Amino acid sequence: MIIDVLLVLMAVIVWVLGRSRNLFGVIILSGAYSFLMATLLVALDAVDVAMTEASVGAGISTVLLLGALFLCHSEEARPVRKPWLPLAMVISVGALLVYGTLGLPEFSNPQAPIHTHVVPRYLNELKEEVAVPNVVTAVLASYRGYDTLGETTVVFTAGAGVVALLRRRRKDREG
């Protein structure tokens, strides 16, 4: 019930986002979208993901986008051509993705492959092996430690990339 309401609200926001030309409104609405998404994730009992969505999606992204808005006009320019080709492209890719989801196991089906592979082992032996009550933390940091190391390296690389790109620009402007 709550999930349905949230999904309808999110769909409304996406519709308004598509119609709006005022970039300030767009940024605030996408922040609202992220908060709805975070609430949805709480309703789905994925509190860790909800926390990340609320802080990154609604918090930091909004601030960065507002910072970018400060550097440009607040009204989106009218496109020169009618965007029929991109629209058709997006709709067909979207239809393809929806078609792909039809092959997935039913939502919260306990017999789904993801729940029968390593998850039972994690849940059953976690108490003796790791003894950390939060399964998400245990899987992320211990069982999947290599993945998280890679993830941290990706974050570092992203930061280094931004530093490399923006620094050079500034020097160009001075010189």
Partner 1 sequence: MRNDLILRVVAKMVIPFVLLFALYVQFHGDFGPGGGFQAGVILAAAVIFYALIFGLADARKVVPEPLVESMMAIGVLIYAGVGVAGLLLGGNYLDYFVLDPDPVHGQHRGIFWVEVGVATTVSGVMLKIFYMFAGRGKVDE
Q: Which residues bind partner 1 (CB under 8 A)?
A: 47-48, 50-52, 55-56, 59-60, 63-64, 67-68, 70-71, 128-134, 136-138, 140-142, 145-146, 148-149, 151-153, 155-156, 158-160, 162-163, 166-167, 169-170
Tell me if 62 sits within 8 A of 27, measured CB to CB: yes
75 or 147: whose CB is closer to partner 1? 147
- Residue 79 Cβ vs partner 1, minimum distance, rounded to whole Å: 26
- Residue 30 Cβ vs partner 1, minimum distance, rounded to whole Å: 17
63 or 87: whose CB is closer to partner 1? 63
Per the DSSP assignment, residues forming a β-bridge with 75 are 22
20 or 137: whose CB is closer to partner 1? 137
Widest distance between CA atoms in the chain: 63
Specify the DSSP class assigned to residue 106: P
Tell me if 130 sits within 8 A of 142, measured CB to CB: yes
Length of the chain, please?
A: 175
CA distance 130 to 115: 20
- Residue 33 Cβ vs partner 1, minimum distance, rounded to whole Å: 18
